[in-house]
Amino acid sequence: MDYRGSFDQDLSSLVRIKDAGRLLGFAAIAELRAGHLTKAHQRLLDLLRLGDLMASERWLITQLVRRAILITAWDVQVAMIAEGGGSESQLAEQQAAWRRLAPMHDLILALEMERAMGSRSMRQLVANPKARAEAFAGINGLHQLSHGDDDEDEVANGFLKRLVAPLQQALWRYVWHDADELRNLRHFTGAITDARTAAVNGLHAVSSAHAHAKDPTTEILFPGSSSASWWERFRFPFSSTDGSVDGSHRPILNFETQIELGITALAVHRYRLAHGDWPQSLRDLSAQDLPSEPHDPVGGGTLIYRRDPNHGFVLYSKGENGQDDGGDASMPSDSGEFGKLSLGKDSVWPRSATAEESEAALFQKRRGRR
């Protein structure tokens, strides 16, 4: 990324990077199904290397694309462990590759960068009429004044745009740009504060009590939503767009929990390879197997582990409610989702389903579509 270009960036390279991640994921699964565990292991390491290379990019969209690539890697990892995972040395390599990643840390740095660049961008727009006109044309906020689709509405909307656009830009330049910048700063600062609080205390610490004092105007304008009235979008076009960063920490923190689950599960499988049985508790693991206590990024505290006579072990995070529900992975009946780890009462490390469980889950999914 060329950060001197402010927000005017060509993001087409991200599409190619994301496609590369998908191809590596497909290749890993294909090798796994062909029984080529060593080749699948190498493709998984390639995927994790790609994600690691993106860590230094201080751009929110880049970090979200990176998360998508790493989710593909995580799916491959789960499939590999279900097939045995490989040798102890291969499991150790996989574990070390995952440990190099710090998604929440990198997200916070990206939010801080975008906050700074947002202010820099607005100051550039104040000083540069051509850039200002292009930015306003890109936002297309005036199109929200008319929602009609027929030709008459299009003509009316075009006339309104030609009439009002110069006035809007002039008023923004001389009257509203300071307030727009301040609102943008407050918006990003609130998101950064929430992300930092969630990273230390768990996601429930943010959802149960706001960690920052929001702008009262923002509370009135955005009651539980990032959408503003047309008048607010007209006055504050750059801080009232629907591309909200509020809650951007939630998917990243949920994924960081999946990473912690994966690192711990790999340590448990390494222990079994070395000792012929599952550990009684995580305290049985040596510093070589698990260098530090497994943190629960979403639920707070540490991950929970216990032996299970039927499935070997159960490993889980307390989930977004921060409560230990005993490893209950069931989702709300009205969630509308299927099989998402973060939607369960607890976020549980997956295991291979029995034939009966698979049939029951597929039946429930088909029934939900009717």
Query: pTM (2 decimals)?
Result: 0.79
Number of helices and strands (H, E) in the chain?
13, 3
What separation, in Å, do the N-terminal and C-terminal C-alpha atoms of the chain show?
Answer: 46
Strands ordered across the beta sheet of 304-308: 304-308, 312-317, 347-348
Q: What is the pLDDT along the chain (370 residues), one digit of tens a residue?
A: 565 555 556 678 889 999 999 999 999 999 999 999 999 999 999 999 999 999 988 888 889 899 999 999 999 999 999 888 789 999 999 999 999 999 999 999 999 998 988 888 888 899 999 888 888 887 754 444 333 444 444 544 565 567 778 888 999 999 999 999 999 999 899 999 999 988 888 887 776 544 344 443 333 333 334 456 778 888 898 888 655 677 788 888 899 999 999 999 999 999 999 999 999 999 999 888 888 889 898 888 899 999 988 888 999 999 888 888 888 887 765 554 545 666 678 899 987 777 777 787 787 777 765 5
Nearest in space to 143 (alpha carbons), one of 165, 172, 121: 165
Decide: helix, strand or coil at residue 314. Answer: strand
Q: What is the CATH number of domain 249-370?
A: 3.30.700
Question: CA-CA distances (angstroms) from residue 201 to 192, 194, 195, 314?
Answer: 14, 10, 10, 23
CB proximity list for 186: less than 8 A, separation 6 or greater: 214, 215, 218
Domain ranges of the chain: 1-101, 128-235, 249-370
Handedness of CA 250, 204, 291, 311 (dihedral sign): negative
Phi, psi of 308 (to 5 degrees): -135, 125
Q: What is the amino acid identity at position 322?
A: G
Residue in this structure with the two tokens 């009609």, named with its chain if needed: 148
Question: In this structure, how many other beta carbons lie within 10 angstroms of the beta carbon of residue 209?
Answer: 9
Measured CA to CA in angstroms, residue 49 lies from 28, 69, 115 at distances of 14, 10, 28
Q: How many Å apart are CA 181 and CA 122, to the nearest integer?
A: 7
Compute the radius of gyration of the chain from its Cα atoms.
Answer: 24
Q: Tell me the per-residue pLDDT of 180-235, one tens digit each, with 9 for 90 and over.
A: 999 999 989 999 999 998 888 888 777 654 434 444 333 333 333 445 677 888 88
Q: What are phi and psi of 176, to 5 degrees?
A: -105, -10
What is the residue-averaged pLDDT of the chain? 81
Rounded to whole angstroms, how far apart are CA atoms 51 and 189?
Answer: 26
